[in-house]
């Protein structure tokens, strides 16, 4: 089995062009499906999988009273004048008003865009239809208690009837429509009866209302774009008819709502996307200080995103609000992977070294890395005393032994098998042309086990380093030809990739596994998010662990062959950033307990705040209204200006006016012993109790709109003597509610009023299985308050043979909110546990220190507490976009922490000095992390300027997450590593006093 070093050399040297071709081919194959990914902002995809959602589906399927597969919208015609104008002047329930509504309906049916979405069995219906049909039925001599809407006369006949009614008849027929015809139990749709067409501000005495509604029944299988177009067209047609009056039309429906949810996301990304990309490019250029490297990094980011979106396309996964986090996550990890690879390579080839004198042979290099390359500080000249440092000298010898390098977790562990036979490890390899060259294992120098005070020289390595510092074994390629001047590029890249490659693999394993923990969520989109994130994380490893390094070798060789020096200083190893990171190292070494103590205090505060973070999933929070659009957006170029948003205002108007339509209903689905003697009485008690909560709608006659089975039965009994007699016989206490022989009562109800019966009493295969209590609620209350009060009022129908589920849109939303919180809690516990187990096992295997895994994970747990506490302080809830912030924190935090721990252990084994190892790790890996963190924060932070509030919150909290993860890894983790090293670290490591302890048994390497 190849060692990591050998595998790295294979990718970037021997098979680099094959690597490039294979990864490009895979990208093209996956990317072919990326354009097919669809964007859906419908909240219904989140509501599935909960108990309230299942109950709601049952009602829609078995007890709705509507045609199957129908989705309704409400088109409201309203007077636009304010309350200072009298009710009579604002009244829309006039003969002329009714005629206008009927003309609108004619145009709706004639319009192909609208008509193709409508259900034929339920044509548009309004108060105008009811009044006109009552007028026709009255002319035909039909008694009012026998009148029905269906079958309807033609719209032409209805208009003629309206033209012929007197003012007295108009008022009378309006009364009949609301109190008799539309309240007939057999007229089962729309569910709001007459108050689906007039608001609760309807004046019963003067028969006036400032608005009236037209209910449209759309086929629920309609394409979302067609549904949106139909609803927008309906509103335009209505406003065209009303243009000459003081009236206008608004529409509420899922088509418009989903369209605006989609548009607000697109507008937000249109506004902030270019700025985020520009800012990220500028910061990358600042970090890399090289246009070519920045371009390679951006190319890799694009390829990773192509893999993720292509995977979504092939698996037909829809992009929704939650998936906004996917590109942010993958860009963050990709940038980090890229910077670690590039900066590590720069450490291996610092500026100032010539083509035949690189960092492997330069006398200025200090210490050594465990991967076989000399430890670097970005090309710095040595400090005083460095040349006399025995550990440094030993490191140089280890480095010079083999410039190939390679990553070994446990340091120079090949000495376990080599023993004293250092010279026996020489290998002879033949080039393609038959030449042979000596290749000495890098660890042959370690086998001599020089004491800390004995410097070694390149000569001690048995001549492993060729004159001039060139690679002692420069493979020639297929033809065996020599490579030419840029030979060291491949060797140093192999060393760099070997040094970070296994760390990248470990990061990928832990992070991807952690995100897959979301498969335990009850919310479908969250499960899909976990899968797509894991695929994208693996893609980041493939692209930045193979493709980009191989491509960089090709590009750098091409440029250096034409005289361009490709050596650059690693970010954070020079200038102010070096000073900043050096200060962190100093604090960690001198006052580790103080650093850890402050971190723990912040963690305790974060945990206290975390318990107070609310969970929220409300449609209103995801809709944009005029107040959410900042004034500066109006000054943007036309292509960047946000759309005009009206859905939230329209919903607010309809809810405040008190129209009873589908979106305002909650309900109880009561199962169990529904034929038991007290089942109907208990259902009525639940209805009475919910009426007392204040959230149930109250009608103008001061009765409640809540419908119970017994209330329906009383209405039917008033119209049918046969049923009235059965009802009386079943009522032993004369309270109007049957309390015995309920099966007979249900049977009779189905006989005399079958359409009404199935809306309140469900039966399957002749067995009665459920009762229903319908509760129209006041939409001005918050969904959480509605849910709490409605659920609490269900106590009379819970237990003793009955079980009840409260449902309806507000309750379904709150069920999702609860699942989001459950996902956070369960996902956090599972993810931390999985990552801890992996780290402990890996470090037990490779370093023989399982406790190092716990130390590496501790700052990540702290960062999670910090971010949750910050959410509480800023008032940011867990919602559809912030619910996975803990997974995001762990993903970024694991990345940062593993890189630092791995680099520290490499340097610790190589240099034998805790302080020097810590400095090298923080300046090397910490510098790369700093560049990555600045880039990611700049890219995601601009989301704070989005027009969608949850997207703003996501941008702010994600930027803080990245910052906290960086602080945890670069500030807290070094202090923890100091404390860990003093207590549990290798015995041969020197502390600050320079005292060396006895050597402990060699730890295991990944090659074992």
pLDDT by residue (tens digit) across 798-845? 999 999 999 998 899 888 888 878 777 887 888 888 889 988 998 888
* Helix %, strand %, coil % of the chain (to 5): 60, 10, 30
Predicted confidence (pLDDT) at residue 233 exceeds the cutoff of 60: yes
Most confident option among 382-391, 400-409, 924-933: 924-933
pLDDT at 105: 96
pLDDT mean over 948-952: 83
Predicted confidence (pLDDT) at residue 371 exceeds the cutoff of 50: no
pLDDT mean over 616-630: 76
Q: Which of 429, 406, 442, 440 is nearest to 475 (CA)?
A: 429
> 389: pLDDT confidence band, cut at 50, 70 and 90?
very low
> 102: pLDDT confidence band, cut at 50, 70 and 90?
very high
> Which pTM does this prediction carry?
0.73
pLDDT at 573: 60
pLDDT mean over 527-544: 91
> 446: pLDDT confidence band, cut at 50, 70 and 90?
very low
Tokens of 558: 């091409």
pLDDT by residue (tens digit) across 457-483? 333 333 333 333 344 333 333 333 333
Percent of the chain beyond pLDDT 90?
A: 37
Percent of the chain beyond pLDDT 70?
A: 83
Q: Is 218 helix (H, G, I), strand (E, B) or coil?
A: strand
pLDDT mean over 381-400: 39
Tokens of 817: 């909110």
pLDDT by residue (tens digit) across 188-220? 888 888 888 999 889 878 889 999 999 999 998
**Burial group, residue 224, by CB count within 10 angstroms (0-12, 13-18, 19+):** middle
**Burial group, residue 114, by CB count within 10 angstroms (0-12, 13-18, 19+):** buried
C-alpha 13/C-alpha 28 separation (Å) is 24
pLDDT at 675: 94
Whole-Å CA distances, 346 to 295, 426, 566, 573 = 16, 29, 9, 10
Q: Which residues pair with 704 in a beta bridge?
A: 698
pLDDT by residue (tens digit) across 703-731? 898 999 999 999 999 889 999 999 999 99
Q: Which of 595, 505, 653, 526 is nearest to 78 (CA)?
A: 653
Q: Please name the helix (run of DSSP H) or strand (run of DSSP E) that holds residue 258, with its range, or none.
A: helix 254-288
pLDDT mean over 781-801: 93
pLDDT at 994: 47
Structure-token match 């000073």, residue found: 579
User: Could you give phi then psi for residue 302, rounded to 5 degrees?
Assistant: -60, -40
Answer for the pair 817, 615: CB distance below 8 angstroms, yes or no.
Answer: yes
Tokens of 634: 């109006």
Alpha helices in 12-69 (DSSP H): 16-31, 44-47, 51-62
Answer for the pair 186, 753: CB distance below 8 angstroms, yes or no.
Answer: yes
C-alpha 591/C-alpha 909 separation (Å) is 23
**β 125-126/211-219 pair status:** antiparallel
C-alpha 694/C-alpha 781 separation (Å) is 10
pLDDT at 599: 94
pLDDT mean over 289-313: 92
pLDDT at 574: 59
DSSP states along 719-771 = H-HHHHHHHHHH-SSSSSS--S-HHHHHHHHHHH-HHHHHHHEEEETTEEEEE
* Largest interatomic CA distance in the chain: 119
| Greater pLDDT, 525 or 1003 | 525
pLDDT mean over 19-36: 93
Tokens of 623: 């809709």
Predicted confidence (pLDDT) at residue 443 exceeds the cutoff of 60: no
Tokens of 971: 């500030």
pLDDT mean over 276-293: 83
- 3-state SS of 683-719 is HHHHHHHHHCCCCECECCCCCECCECHHHHHHHHHHH
C-alpha 531/C-alpha 613 separation (Å) is 27
How far, rounded to the nearest angstrom, does the alpha carbon of residue 860 sit from its chain's CA centroid?
20
Q: Which residues pair with 484 in a beta bridge?
A: none
| Greater pLDDT, 98 or 780 | 98
pLDDT at 890: 85
For the chain, count helices (H), then strands (E): 37, 10
Enumerate residues 6+ apart whose C-beta is below 8 A from 154.
none
Answer for the pair 359, 348: CB distance below 8 angstroms, yes or no.
Answer: yes
Tokens of 56: 């709601």
pLDDT mean over 839-866: 90
pLDDT by residue (tens digit) across 43-73? 777 777 789 999 999 998 889 888 888 889 9
Answer for the pair 723, 753: CB distance below 8 angstroms, yes or no.
Answer: yes
pLDDT at 26: 94
pLDDT at 242: 92
Answer for the pair 774, 707: CB distance below 8 angstroms, yes or no.
Answer: yes
Enumerate residues 6+ apart whose C-beta is below 8 A from 226.
113, 116, 117
pLDDT mean over 978-995: 71
pLDDT at 432: 36
Q: Which of 856, 831, 842 is nearest to 925 (CA)?
A: 856
Q: What is the mean pLDDT of the chain?
A: 80
Predicted confidence (pLDDT) at residue 261 exceeds the cutoff of 90: no
pLDDT at 827: 79
**End-to-end Cα separation, the chain, in angstroms:** 10
- 237-261: buried (b, 16+ CB within 10 Å) or exposed (e) per residue? bbbebbeeeebebbbbbbbbbbbbb
> 116: pLDDT confidence band, cut at 50, 70 and 90?
very high
Structure-token match 């009552």, residue found: 134
> 990: pLDDT confidence band, cut at 50, 70 and 90?
low
pLDDT at 745: 95
pLDDT at 405: 35
**Burial group, residue 721, by CB count within 10 angstroms (0-12, 13-18, 19+):** exposed
**β 70-79/247-252 pair status:** antiparallel
């Amino acid at each position: 089995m190849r060692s990591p070093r050998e595998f790295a050399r294979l990718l970037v040297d021997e098979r680099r062009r094959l690597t490039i071709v294979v990864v490009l081919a895979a990208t093209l194959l996956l990317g072919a499906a990326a354009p097919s990914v669809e964007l859906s902002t419908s909240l219904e995809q989140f509501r599935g999988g909960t108990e309230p959602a299942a109950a709601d589906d049952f009602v829609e399927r078995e007890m709705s009273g509507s045609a199957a597969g129908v989705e309704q919208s409400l088109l409201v015609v309203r007077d636009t004048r304010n309350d200072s104008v009298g009710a009579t002047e604002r009244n829309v329930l006039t003969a002329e008003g009714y005629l206008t509504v009927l003309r609108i309906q004619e145009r709706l049916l004639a319009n192909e865009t609208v008509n193709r979405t409508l259900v034929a069995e339920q044509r548009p219906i309004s108060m105008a239809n009811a009044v006109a049909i009552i007028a026709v039925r009255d002319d035909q001599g039909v008694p009012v208690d026998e009148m029905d809407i269906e079958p309807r006369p033609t719209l032409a006949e209805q208009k003629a009837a309206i033209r012929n009614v007197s003012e007295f008849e108009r008022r009378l027929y309006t009364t009949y429509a609301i109190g008799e015809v539309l309240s007939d139990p057999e007229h089962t749709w729309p569910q709001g009866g007459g108050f689906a067409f007039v608001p609760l501000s309807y004046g019963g005495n003067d028969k006036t209302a400032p608005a009236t509604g037209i209910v449209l029944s759309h086929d629920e299988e309609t394409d979302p774009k067609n549904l949106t177009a139909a609803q927008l067209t309906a509103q335009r047609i209505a406003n065209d008819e009303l243009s000459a009056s003081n009236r206008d039309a608004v529409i509420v429906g899922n088509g418009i709502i989903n369209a605006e949810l989609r548009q607000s996301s697109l507008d937000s990304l249109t506004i902030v996307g270019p700025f985020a990309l520009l800012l990220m490019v500028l910061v990358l250029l600042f970090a890399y200080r090289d246009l070519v490297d920045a371009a390679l990094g951006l190319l890799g980011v694009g390829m990773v995103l192509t893999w993720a979106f292509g995977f979504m396309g092939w698996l037909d996964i829809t992009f929704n609000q939650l998936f906004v986090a996917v590109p942010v996550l993958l860009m963050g990890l990709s940038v980090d992977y890229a910077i670690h690879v590039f900066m590590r390579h720069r450490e291996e080839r610092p500026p100032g070294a010539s083509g035949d004198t690189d960092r492997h042979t330069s006398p200025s290099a200090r210490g050594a890395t465990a991967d076989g390359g000399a430890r670097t500080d970005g090309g710095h000249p040595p400090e005083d005393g460095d040349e006399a440092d025995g550990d440094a000298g030993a490191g140089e010898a280890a480095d010079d032994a083999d410039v190939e390098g390679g990553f070994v977790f446990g340091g120079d562990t090949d000495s376990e098998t080599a023993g004293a036979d250092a010279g026996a490890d020489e290998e002879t390899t033949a080039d393609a042309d038959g030449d042979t060259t000596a290749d000495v294992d890098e660890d042959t120098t370690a086998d001599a086990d020089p004491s800390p005070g004995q410097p070694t020289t390149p000569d001690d390595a048995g001549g492993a380093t060729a004159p001039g510092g060139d690679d002692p074994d420069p493979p020639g390629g297929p033809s065996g030809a020599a490579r030419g001047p840029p030979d060291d590029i491949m060797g140093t890249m192999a060393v760099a990739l070997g040094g970070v490659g296994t760390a990248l693999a470990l990061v990928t394993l832990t992070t991807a596994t952690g995100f897959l923990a979301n498969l335990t969520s009850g919310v479908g989109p969250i499960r899909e998010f976990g899968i797509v994130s894991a695929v994208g994380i693996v893609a980041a490893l493939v692209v930045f662990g193979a493709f980009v390094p191989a491509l960089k070798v090709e590009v750098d060789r091409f440029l250096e062959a034409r005289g361009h020096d490709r050596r650059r200083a690693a970010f954070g190893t020079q200038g102010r950033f070096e000073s900043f990171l050096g200060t962190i190292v100093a604090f960690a070494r001198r006052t580790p307990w103080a650093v850890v103590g402050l971190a723990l205090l912040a963690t305790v505060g974060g945990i206290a705040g975390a318990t107070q973070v609310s969970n929220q999933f409300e449609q209103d929070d995801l809709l944009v209204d005029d107040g959410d659009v900042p004034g500066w957006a109006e000054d943007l170029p036309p292509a960047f200006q946000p759309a005009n948003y009206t859905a939230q205002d329209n919903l607010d108007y309809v809810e405040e006016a008190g129209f009873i339509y589908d979106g305002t209903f909650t309900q109880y689905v009561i199962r169990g012993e529904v034929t038991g003697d007290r089942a109907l009485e208990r259902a009525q008690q639940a209805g009475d109790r919910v009426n007392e909560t204040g959230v149930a709608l109250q009608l103008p006659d001061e009765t409640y709109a809540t419908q119970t089975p017994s209330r329906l039965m009383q209405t039917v009994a008033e119209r049918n003597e046969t049923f009235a007699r059965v009802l009386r016989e079943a009522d032993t206490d004369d309270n109007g509610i049957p309390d015995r022989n309920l099966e007979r009562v249900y049977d009779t109800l189905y006989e005399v009023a079958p359409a009404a019966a199935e809306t309140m009493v469900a039966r399957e295969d002749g067995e009665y299985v459920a009762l229903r209590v319908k509760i129209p609620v006041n939409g001005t209350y918050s969904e959480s308050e509605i849910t709490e009060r409605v659920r609490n009022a269900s106590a009379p129908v819970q237990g003793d043979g009955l079980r009840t589920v409260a449902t309806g849109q507000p309750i379904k939303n709150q069920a999702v909110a609860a699942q989001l919180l459950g996902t956070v809690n369960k996902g956090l516990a599972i993810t931390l546990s999985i990552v801890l187990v992996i780290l402990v096992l890996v470090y037990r295997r490779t370093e023989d220190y399982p406790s190092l895994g716990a130390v590496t994970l501790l700052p990540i747990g702290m960062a999670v507490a910090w971010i949750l506490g910050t959410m509480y302080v800023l008032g940011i809830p867990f919602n559809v976009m912030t619910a996975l912030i803990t997974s995001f924190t762990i993903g970024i935090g694991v990345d940062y922490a593993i890189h630092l721990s791995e680099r520290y252990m490499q340097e610790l084994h190589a240099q034998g000095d805790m302080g020097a190892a810590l400095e090298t790790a923080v300046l090397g890996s910490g510098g790369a992390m700093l560049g990555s963190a600045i880039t990611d924060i700049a890219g995601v932070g601009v989301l704070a300027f989005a027009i969608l509030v949850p997207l703003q919150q996501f941008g702010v909290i994600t930027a803080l997450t990245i910052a906290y993860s960086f602080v945890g890894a670069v500030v807290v983790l070094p202090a923890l590593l100091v404390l860990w090293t003093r207590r549990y670290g290798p015995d041969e490591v020197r502390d600050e006093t320079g005292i060396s302890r006895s050597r402990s048994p060699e730890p295991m390497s990944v090659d074992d």
